Chain A
Amino acid sequence: MAIPKGKKAEIMDEIKGNVSKTEAGTIGYIVGGGLKANLQARLTVPPQQIQEGAFVVVESGGWLFYGLVTDLQLGSTDPRFADEGGQARLSPQLAQLLHGQTLYTNIEIMSALMMEQGPEPGEPGYDAWFQQVMDEQIRPEPVKTVPQHHAEVRLARAGDIAEIFGKESKAGFFQIGDTLEGQHPVCINLDKLVQRSAGIFGATGSGKSFLARVILAGLINHGKTSVLIFDMHNEYGPDDTASDTGARVPGLKGKFPARVRMVGLGRGATIRGKQPDFNLEIAEADIMPEDILMLSQELNLRETTPTTLEALKASFQNNWFHAFKNMRAHAYVEDENGKPVPAPDSVEAWAIQAGVHSSAAEALHSKLRRLFNASYIVEEPAGNALQQMIDHLDHGQHIVLSFGTHESDLDYLFVSNLLTRRIRQVWERRTNDFRSGRQGAEEPRQLVIVVEEAHKLLNREMAAQTTFSTIAREMRKYYVTLLIIDQRPSQIYDEVMSQLGTRITGWLGDADDISAVLTGLAGRDALRGMLARLQPKEEVLMLGWGVPMPIVVHSRRYDDAFWEAVIGKGVRRSNAEILDELGF
């Protein structure tokens, strides 16, 4: 009999000295189910030993089937065995006989992947086979058949998990947590994660921000991708204090001082009392009518706004914002007859001249006052901060844009959208240059834009107007993807949600939010219950295109041990690499 591949990986682990202490034996056998419905297995161990979300392996006919436990059901051959509690009348020895025979537990397994079992170590062909697995020529494939009746079911071993989710010793793989049973490390492929837009979801207090910090630390440490973080609440860049425990939470800037640049919004802005690396000011000439239209909801703009903006652009070109800002509202002068007429520098005078309804123009002028008063919008910025940001991102640095005192939704929406539009234009131009083979054009660096409170930018009403939804839809065409962090996924436009490659979600209570996270995925019903029963702050469900199969993980703690493992990893990794070179 060929030994399961998991076993081989274990042997490998043993050689590397990280063999698991809790090895899993058989927990049951297959009794029914199918491809469309989930598989059913009879448990041969007490149900308390298995939890929902457990990662299990079924061995059958030379194949390994990998799946998740999605349900546990108590059953009896006759309901009377369960109903009548006859066991009280029987001796414990006889009552025990009923368990397992007439009273039993079935588990439901959502099988996701299958992989052929290879030859045994020492058998001819083993070495060649093993090399193929290492080179990913033999890979798990989507499940297309079912295991036989009575096929053995066991909990996954460290080797099984490594075969499916990869090992941290391999470049680009980053440990995101451990399995619920056995605490085997589960990794995520960072290169795949950034290929499409991704989302981190979870209700308030479910550990979203910590998880985001863990992933961002992984991305920054990996060094293949540049990251731009719109840090609305100053959570990611500077050191922070946890809202619940009061413990000190190290920021990314503190841990990667040379790789992370802090940018403050507005002249003289400080971030938690510290000077940012540089400040960002927005030139009035950079503001386009579409940047204003995007704020329709926030500013309560009327339907006439687009016409008025168009007329402004036509009258003043790129200088429209400055010109409009300097117009006076309700300003009148007397004509030669002593009759009040609109002053030449008034909104009304321009409206009459441009053929725009004057009250519409005045209403817009008054509604834009909040932007006119924004201190970070200036006529002549002190430096070209935008270009500076792009240069840093180009050089593999990462930007944390801190909003400082400008914490209102208006500032966040306006600045993040405007910047993203500009950055995407640059990346689009470079991509086109690169693709068309223009001389000297280099492949643009992969960029991930991290957006918090994403539903404000990607809701149904806004999705059509913001650059973010364009980025989410076109995937990695222009080397820019999003990392969305949000607590209300149901508020995000479904078309955007369905484009998210990887979704990592903590506990969600709202049924709509749960449905939204599962949009466009197979096995939704089975995953729905699992999502509602995740332990807040501890467990997350990973699913979507970027992970081989859905899995519940006990997420990695964001603590000193984490940082030690991430930053001090160079030394340890080299050992693993040496072993890799030796063929293990």
Chain B
Amino acid sequence: MNEIEFGRLLRSGTTGFVVGCRVNQLDAPSFGSLVRVPLEDGYQVYGVIYDIHIEDDGLVRQLITAEDLPEEVLQDNRENRNVPVEIGVMAVGYEKDSRVYHLLPPRPPLSLDSIYLCSPSEIVRFTGAGFGYFRHLLRDRDKPVEELLAAHLMAARSAHIAAENPGWFQAALEELTAALRDDYPRMMCFLGAAGEIDV
């Protein structure tokens, strides 16, 4: 299997974790992607990227104010900086003994564990096991949940279409409208975001 590792764990908890990576690793993960952290035998934790965060440092602050910044300096600072890119991941389930659970993981991954982007077949396997994991995505109202859902649906939809399961997207939309039907602002926000997906 072509595994795409893109970073290691910085901080971790039951509901989510933060991954650190270098800037040159950043072309792999994207907002809404499904990721996994393999732990011991047969146990791995799944998550969805909800935030990609680039912190500044003292040197960047100085360089920003400098005039006529040479291109080499700019590239050097981007690629060899000391501060990692931080990627926020929401825990949405786990796999144990080849069975997928849409529950929060019993134990969070540890720091410096490697994190991988899920392949289309892994996406189909996890999201095809029902829509229970939407609970976790919908829970945290401080995050841009509707945008996150739209980004996730877009990625998962193409994986399901490739797996000849075009009905998944419609079913997911129906599940989400049912979940949001009592919340007008969030519903309209979600439908607005979902409308951007090229149907």
In the complex, are the beta carbons of A78 and B184 less than 8 A apart? yes
- Considering only CB atoms, which chain A residue lies closest to B176 in the complex? A97
In the complex, are the beta carbons of B199 and A81 less than 8 A apart? no
Kindly supply a per-residue 1/0 record for chain A positions 187-215, scoring 1 wherever the CB is within 8 Å of any chain B CB and 0 otherwise. 00000000000000000000000000000
Q: B174 — which chain A residues lie within 8 A by C-beta? A: 97, 101
Q: How far is the CA of A101 from the CA of B179 in the complex (A)?
A: 9
In the complex, are the beta carbons of B194 and A81 less than 8 A apart? no
7 other A-B residue contacts (CB within 8 Å) besides A89-B195, A91-B195, A101-B174: A78-B181, A89-B192, A93-B199, A94-B173, A94-B194, A98-B191, A101-B181
In the complex, are the beta carbons of B195 and A102 less than 8 A apart? no
A97 touches which one: B177, B182, B184, B192 (CB < 8 A)? B177
- The list of the 7 closest CB pairs from A to B, nearest first, reads A78-B184, A97-B177, A102-B181, A101-B177, A80-B184, A101-B181, A77-B181
Q: How far is the CA of A149 from the CA of B91 in the complex (A)?
A: 35
Q: Count of chain B residues with Cβ under 8 Å from any Cβ of A?
A: 16
For window 82-140 of B, CB contacts with A under 8 Å fall at none
- Considering only CB atoms, which chain A residue lies closest to B199 in the complex? A93
A290–chain B nearest beta-carbon distance, Å: 71
A79–chain B nearest beta-carbon distance, Å: 9
In the complex, are the beta carbons of A91 and B199 less than 8 A apart? yes
A77 touches which one: B182, B188, B191 (CB < 8 A)? B182
Kindly supply a per-residue 1/0 record for chain B positions 181-199, scoring 1 wherever the CB is within 8 Å of any chain A CB and 0 otherwise. 1111001100110110001
A102 touches which one: B173, B177, B192, B199 (CB < 8 A)? B177
Q: B181 — which chain A residues lie within 8 A by C-beta? A: 77-78, 101-102
12 contacts between A and B (CB under 8 A): A77-B181, A78-B182, A78-B184, A81-B187, A90-B192, A90-B195, A91-B195, A94-B195, A97-B173, A101-B177, A101-B178, A101-B181
B181–chain A nearest beta-carbon distance, Å: 5
Q: How far is the CA of A102 from the CA of B187 in the complex (A)?
A: 10
A→B interface (CB under 8 Å) = 77-78, 80-81, 86, 89-91, 93-94, 97-98, 101-102
Q: How far is the CA of A97 from the CA of B177 in the complex (A)?
A: 7
Q: Which of B173, B187, B192 has the most CB of A within 10 A?
A: B187
- Considering only CB atoms, which chain B residue lies closest to A91 in the complex? B195
Q: How far is the CA of A91 from the CA of B173 in the complex (A)?
A: 13
B131–chain A nearest beta-carbon distance, Å: 14
Q: How far is the CA of A81 from the CA of B191 in the complex (A)?
A: 12
In the complex, are the beta carbons of B184 and A98 less than 8 A apart? no
Q: A93 — which chain B residues lie within 8 A by C-beta? A: 170, 173, 199
Q: B195 — which chain A residues lie within 8 A by C-beta? A: 89-91, 94
Q: How far is the CA of A93 from the CA of B181 in the complex (A)?
A: 16
Q: B191 — which chain A residues lie within 8 A by C-beta? A: 86, 90, 94, 97-98
Q: How far is the CA of A247 from the CA of B116 in the complex (A)?
A: 85
For window 142-199 of B, CB contacts with A under 8 Å fall at 170, 173-174, 177-178, 181-184, 187-188, 191-192, 194-195, 199
Q: How far is the CA of A43 from the CA of B74 in the complex (A)?
A: 63
In the complex, are the beta carbons of A98 and B199 less than 8 A apart? no
Q: How far is the CA of A102 from the CA of B179 in the complex (A)?
A: 10
Q: How far is the CA of A94 from the CA of B199 in the complex (A)?
A: 10
Q: How far is the CA of A102 from the CA of B155 in the complex (A)?
A: 26
B28–chain A nearest beta-carbon distance, Å: 31
In the complex, are the beta carbons of A98 and B177 less than 8 A apart? yes
Known A78-B182, A101-B181, A102-B181; judge A86-B173 contact (CB<8 A).
no
Q: How far is the CA of A80 from the CA of B192 in the complex (A)?
A: 15
A134–chain B nearest beta-carbon distance, Å: 46
Q: How far is the CA of A510 from the CA of B192 in the complex (A)?
A: 51
In the complex, are the beta carbons of A86 and B199 less than 8 A apart? no
A104–chain B nearest beta-carbon distance, Å: 10
Q: How far is the CA of A569 from the CA of B148 in the complex (A)?
A: 72
A75–chain B nearest beta-carbon distance, Å: 12
B115–chain A nearest beta-carbon distance, Å: 33
Q: How far is the CA of A234 from the CA of B191 in the complex (A)?
A: 69
Q: B187 — which chain A residues lie within 8 A by C-beta? A: 81, 102
Q: Which of A93, A97, A98 has the most CB of B within 10 A?
A: A97
Q: How far is the CA of A101 from the CA of B183 in the complex (A)?
A: 12
Q: How far is the CA of A150 from the CA of B177 in the complex (A)?
A: 20
Q: How far is the CA of A93 from the CA of B187 in the complex (A)?
A: 15
Q: How far is the CA of A93 from the CA of B195 in the complex (A)?
A: 9
Q: How far is the CA of A78 from the CA of B187 in the complex (A)?
A: 11
- Considering only CB atoms, which chain B residue lies closest to A104 in the complex? B181
A30–chain B nearest beta-carbon distance, Å: 19
Kindly supply a per-residue 1/0 record for chain B positions 57-99, scoring 1 wherever the CB is within 8 Å of any chain A CB and 0 otherwise. 0000000000000000000000000000000000000000000
Q: How far is the CA of A81 from the CA of B195 in the complex (A)?
A: 17
Q: B173 — which chain A residues lie within 8 A by C-beta? A: 93-94, 97
- Considering only CB atoms, which chain B residue lies closest to A87 in the complex? B191
Q: A102 — which chain B residues lie within 8 A by C-beta? A: 177, 181, 187
Q: How far is the CA of A98 from the CA of B188 in the complex (A)?
A: 10
Q: B188 — which chain A residues lie within 8 A by C-beta? A: 86
In the complex, are the beta carbons of A81 and B184 less than 8 A apart? yes
Q: How far is the CA of A91 from the CA of B194 in the complex (A)?
A: 10
Q: Which of B178, B184, B199 has the most CB of A within 10 A?
A: B184
Q: How far is the CA of A531 from the CA of B177 in the complex (A)?
A: 39
Q: B183 — which chain A residues lie within 8 A by C-beta? A: 78
- Considering only CB atoms, which chain B residue lies closest to A81 in the complex? B184
B176–chain A nearest beta-carbon distance, Å: 9
- Considering only CB atoms, which chain A residue lies closest to B170 in the complex? A93
Q: How far is the CA of A334 from the CA of B136 in the complex (A)?
A: 120
For window 1-47 of B, CB contacts with A under 8 Å fall at none
Q: How far is the CA of A86 from the CA of B182 in the complex (A)?
A: 15
Q: A101 — which chain B residues lie within 8 A by C-beta? A: 174, 177-178, 181
Q: How far is the CA of A534 from the CA of B192 in the complex (A)?
A: 44
Q: A77 — which chain B residues lie within 8 A by C-beta? A: 181-182
Q: How far is the CA of A81 from the CA of B182 in the complex (A)?
A: 10
